[in-house]
Amino acid sequence: MRILLSNDDGYFSEGLLKLALALAPHHDVHVSAPDSEKSGAGHALTFGEGIVWKRVSENELEVCGEKIAIPCHSVQGSPADAVKFAIEHIYAGEPFDLVISGINTVLNVGSDVIYSGTFGAAEEGTILGVPSIALSARVAEGGYDAAIDFIVANLDALYKLIPPMVTLNVNVPFGDKERLKGVAVAPLGIRRYKDWYEEHRDGRFRLNGYPFDCSENPQDDDCKMSDRGYITITPVKIPDTDCATMEKLRRVEWKL
């Protein structure tokens, strides 16, 4: 397959480069990713400022002491910019079979997808008609290996089951396979956080926080199942219209 890799942590990030290294022996892999960390960028696109990009020298790409000879482009913009610019400009007329965004260093489950640059990059691929996967892992709990192994082993199965206008959101809670309980196909949940703002010397406030444990949620959503140790797969459809509310709104006698 011809695969475009992106992320929200930058083209130099360990998770992206390790995934590229694992996929390259059997696939035609290209990278287009932000030139700096863009966590929390969501699905933002750059308009007025314009986009600056460059081809990254192969000498710059190295992970675990190994050089990576993969075409790579750095985009001064959002994660969604990186995907859109690659598909519509850098590689215009050279279609991709698949977009994978990640591997993100923390999970993006439930309502996290609203804010996630990782998911935003994958969702942009979906909008542009390319089957897309957002891949995140709790890297602090064992690294990237389990996420990489899962994608490599199941790539064909995942690819065949991505319909138009659906992005697959995949989250791997542990890097150590022995700790994983299995795979759960689950709907999005609501990820709750204990958040606070911390004032810095320059007068700016930085958002800090941590997610509440969702393992006892009543619903078997992706938040609960990932906190219980399962790899979660969630097909996220766009646009997502609430049909029941739409019918109620149609019955209203609107005033002009």
Phi and psi for 221 in degrees, rounded to 5? -90, 180
pLDDT band at 49 (very low <50, low <70, confident <90, very high): confident
Q: Which residues lie below 8 Å from residue 78, measured CB to CB, with a gap of 6+?
A: 34, 38, 41, 43, 44, 45, 46, 117, 120
Average pLDDT, stretch 28-43?
94
Neighbours of 190 (CB within 10 A): 13
In residues, how long is the chain?
Answer: 256
pLDDT tens for residues 213-226?
A: 999 999 999 999 99
Per-residue confidence (pLDDT) for residue 240, from 0 to 100? 85
Per-residue confidence (pLDDT) for residue 170, from 0 to 100? 98
Per-residue confidence (pLDDT) for residue 50, from 0 to 100? 87
For residue 237, list its beta bridge partners.
166
For residue 91, list its beta bridge partners.
none
- Strands 98-104 and 132-137, bridge-based pairing: parallel
Neighbours of 170 (CB within 10 A): 25
Average pLDDT, stretch 158-178?
96
Residue with tokens 């709907």: 187
Tokens of 205: 């406030």
Per-residue confidence (pLDDT) for residue 233, from 0 to 100? 98
pLDDT tens for residues 56-111?
A: 987 777 777 777 789 999 999 999 999 999 999 999 999 999 999 999 999 999 99
- Strands 72-76 and 52-55, bridge-based pairing: antiparallel
pLDDT tens for residues 173-188?
A: 999 899 999 999 999 9
Q: Is pLDDT of 38 > 80?
A: yes
Q: Is pLDDT of 247 > 90?
A: yes
User: Taking all residues of the chain, what is their mean pLDDT, rounded to a whole number?
Assistant: 94
Average pLDDT, stretch 132-144?
96
